[in-house]
Amino acid sequence: MTGIKHRLLVVDDEVEVCEIIREVGETAGYEVKTTTSGVEFCALYLNFNPTFILLDLNIPEFDGIELLRFLAQHNCTCPIVLESGQDEKVLAISSKLGEEMGLTMGPYFQKPVSVTKLMSALETNKEAPQDDSPDFLRHAIANKRIVLHYQPKVSFKTNQVVGIEALVRLEVQGKLIPPDSFIPLAEESNLIRSLSQLIVQIAFQEYKSIINTYPEISLSVNLSPKTLDDLLMPDEFTKMAQEHNIDTKNICLEITETAFSEHKLLIADVITRFRIKGFTISIDDFGTGYSSLAQLHNLPFNEIKIDKSFITHLGEDLEARKITQSVIDLGHSLGLTVTAEGIETKEVWDILASQGCDIAQGFYICHPLEFDKLTKWLALARDGVHTNHEHLSNV
Ligand code: C2E
Ligand code: MG
Ligand code: MG
């Protein structure tokens, strides 16, 4: 894994100031890009992925507030330092406005900017917060320390890989933190939207690189319940798919069953619009939430994923077997695909195959793998090595 890259983006109408800041930034270990133009700043922001922004409030074409609005619209999570020749009150109010737009505002500086203060702000930004606070997560997102692992989905009938599911991890000091430890924090601190966008961006980028080789494989992405009341999401995801030349019908959105208890109408609106735009929708962890049957009736799902708590011990648990058989029959009678997750043994695979389950996922077939390993696994799997899953588990 490569170390964190620190990237400083500067917009200031004075070329000489840009050059001084460049020198300070490079001394502090940043890769630096500078511009005197607001238009160029917007283009650079989109391509350079800055981890720190220095923004002069008075620049040609746009004013600083318009640029802050642009950054907010693009879910910018990195800290922004304002500088200006204006009096301190204008700087303070602009910084407050930025905060209200949901941006992370750093200190602000009156011109001429003190090199010592600037250096100190740059150094502080490089130190990751050490606890499990929202700032810690914000920092991780801003620095793109999000890693996706992928777990294959295999057809019971054909033994072929039909899909991959993206599962997020956070990389902290060389260790990977599982999603259950930080998704709830992201949901509570309103970071889930920028996190979801980053996850989808990474997943689309990686998936795009294998579509031509494996056109039959779809991509599943987990969506947090908390993002389902966002009416803009279906359009945003569709646009991102188009930008990556991905057909939305190859993207499955997995939504946890417990998500549907609140904001029913809004959620039904968002899910239905995802369907209209071509995405397929899966009800994840089926059997663990509330009013499962009502949800199946009211929402346009394509897939049921039976929760692993029913699957893992199927071998010994006769009751669980009756439940899985009923869910498979129910799913089929509604015209849905039924997937079982958490298959850890051949015995459980065989039971579910005999019950007519459609798709299998679990450690028996393959653990979630980082993208490079996944591509190797897929190449082996394509040669039909699937019939003996254990050999593939630890590629
Ligand atoms: P999930 O979507 O139901 O994913 C299945 C979880 O079961 C994954 O845990 C996977 O690693 C694990 N698993 C797979 N096969 C087996 C097996 O055979 N046995 C057992 N015991 N476990 C198995 P993981 O990666 O820790 O993810 C946990 C949950 O976090 C996911 O459950 C999902 O709800 C959430 N999550 C993961 N990635 C994302 C994401 O990108 N966005 C959001 N919003 N949530 C995510
Ligand atoms: Mg899932
Ligand atoms: Mg699940």
Structure tokens at 168: 């997020």
- Report the separation in Å between the CA atom of 285 and the middle of ligand 2, taken as the mean of its atom positions: 7
Predicted pLDDT of residue 201:
93
Report which protein residue has its CA nearest ligand 1's atom 4: 167
Strand order across the beta sheet in which 80-84 lies: 31-35, 7-11, 52-56, 80-84, 105-110
Judgement on whether residues 228 and 206 belong to the same structural domain of the protein: yes
Q: Is the pLDDT assigned to residue 185 strictly greater than 80?
A: yes
Q: Is the pLDDT assigned to residue 133 strictly greater than 80?
A: no
Q: Is the pLDDT assigned to residue 206 strictly greater than 80?
A: yes
Give the model confidence (pLDDT) of 296-343 as tens digits.
888 899 999 999 999 998 999 999 999 999 999 999 999 999 999 999
Judgement on whether residues 346 and 297 belong to the same structural domain of the protein: yes
What burial letters (b/e) apply to 69-102, b meaning 16+ CB within 10 Å?
Answer: ebbeeebbbbbbbbbbebeeebbeebbebbeeee
Structure tokens at 190: 């309103």
Give residues with Cβ within 8 angstroms of 378, minimum separation 6: 152, 161, 210, 213, 214, 217
Residue 168 beta carbon below 6 angstroms from any ligand 1 atom? yes
Q: Which residue has the higher pLDDT, 297 or 258?
A: 297
Q: What's the rounded Cα separation, in Å, for the pair 275 and 260?
A: 16
Predicted pLDDT of residue 192:
87
Q: Is the pLDDT assigned to residue 363 strictly greater than 90?
A: yes
Atom of ligand 1 nearest to the CA of 192: 44
- Report the separation in Å between the CA atom of 151 and the middle of ligand 2, taken as the mean of its atom positions: 10
Atom of ligand 1 nearest to the CA of 221: 41
Residue 331 beta carbon below 6 angstroms from any ligand 1 atom? no
Predicted pLDDT of residue 2:
37
Q: Is the pLDDT assigned to residue 385 strictly greater than 80?
A: no
Q: Is residue 390 part of a domain?
A: no
Predicted pLDDT of residue 104:
85
Q: What's the rounded Cα separation, in Å, for the pair 158 and 367?
A: 20
Mutate to test the pocket of ligand 1, among 151, 167, 253, 304 (most ligand atoms within 8 A of CB): 167
Q: Is residue 392 part of a domain?
A: no
Which CATH number is 315's domain given?
A: 3.20.20.450
Residue 344 beta carbon below 6 angstroms from any ligand 1 atom? yes
* Residue 390 DSSP code: H
Q: What's the rounded Cα separation, in Å, for the pair 85 and 102?
A: 25
Reported residue count of the chain is: 395
- Report the separation in Å between the CA atom of 140 and the middle of ligand 1, taken as the mean of its atom positions: 20
Predicted pLDDT of residue 3:
45
Distance of CA 173 to the CA centre of its chain: 20
- State the maximum Cα–Cα separation within the chain, in Å, rounded to a whole number: 76
Atom of ligand 1 nearest to the CA of 256: 34
Task: Determine how many CB atoms are found less than 10 A away from the CB of residue 378.
Answer: 20
Q: What's the rounded Cα separation, in Å, for the pair 84 and 181?
A: 40
- Report the separation in Å between the CA atom of 131 and the middle of ligand 2, taken as the mean of its atom positions: 27
Q: What's the rounded Cα separation, in Å, for the pair 243 and 362?
A: 32
This model's pTM is above 0.75: no
Residue 254 beta carbon below 6 angstroms from any ligand 1 atom? yes
Judgement on whether residues 143 and 98 belong to the same structural domain of the protein: no
Judgement on whether residues 232 and 324 belong to the same structural domain of the protein: yes
Q: Is residue 180 part of a domain?
A: yes
With vertex at residue 29, the alpha carbon angle to CA 28 and CA 34, rounded to the nearest 5 degrees, is: 85
Judgement on whether residues 199 and 339 belong to the same structural domain of the protein: yes
Q: What's the rounded Cα separation, in Å, for the pair 347 and 72?
A: 52
Which CATH number is 89's domain given?
A: 3.40.50.2300
- Report the separation in Å between the CA atom of 308 and the middle of ligand 3, taken as the mean of its atom positions: 7
Q: Which of 100, 122, 132, 116 minimizes the C-alpha distance to 52? A: 122
Judgement on whether residues 88 and 200 belong to the same structural domain of the protein: no
Predicted pLDDT of residue 290:
62
Mark which of 67, 96, 126 sits at the end of a domain.
126
- Report the separation in Å between the CA atom of 167 and the middle of ligand 1, taken as the mean of its atom positions: 6
What is the average pLDDT value for the chain, to the nearest integer? 88
Judgement on whether residues 156 and 17 belong to the same structural domain of the protein: no
Residue 341 beta carbon below 6 angstroms from any ligand 1 atom? yes
Predicted pLDDT of residue 47:
87
Judgement on whether residues 119 and 150 belong to the same structural domain of the protein: no
Residue 222 beta carbon below 6 angstroms from any ligand 1 atom? yes
Predicted pLDDT of residue 394:
46
Which residues constitute the domain of residue 112? 7-126
Judgement on whether residues 121 and 142 belong to the same structural domain of the protein: no
Give residues with Cβ within 8 angstroms of 122, minimum separation 6: 6, 8, 24, 25, 28, 30, 52
Predicted pLDDT of residue 86:
80
Domains in the chain, number: 2
Judgement on whether residues 320 and 183 belong to the same structural domain of the protein: yes
Q: Which residue has the higher pLDDT, 232 or 352?
A: 352
Mark which of 126, 160, 192 sits at the end of a domain.
126
Judgement on whether residues 82 and 154 belong to the same structural domain of the protein: no
Predicted pLDDT of residue 148:
97
Predicted pLDDT of residue 289:
72
- Report the separation in Å between the CA atom of 311 and the middle of ligand 2, taken as the mean of its atom positions: 14
Residue 183 beta carbon below 6 angstroms from any ligand 1 atom? yes
Mark which of 126, 155, 190 sits at the end of a domain.
126
Least confident of 64-73, 100-109, 235-244: 100-109
Residue 257 beta carbon below 6 angstroms from any ligand 1 atom? no
- Report the separation in Å between the CA atom of 18 and the middle of ligand 3, taken as the mean of its atom positions: 50
Q: Is the pLDDT assigned to residue 169 strictly greater than 80?
A: yes
Predicted pLDDT of residue 99:
85
Give the SS3 label for residue 282.
Answer: strand
Report which protein residue has its CA nearest ligand 1's atom 37: 167
Confidence of residue 391 (pLDDT cuts 50, 70, 90): very low
Residue 356 beta carbon below 6 angstroms from any ligand 1 atom? no
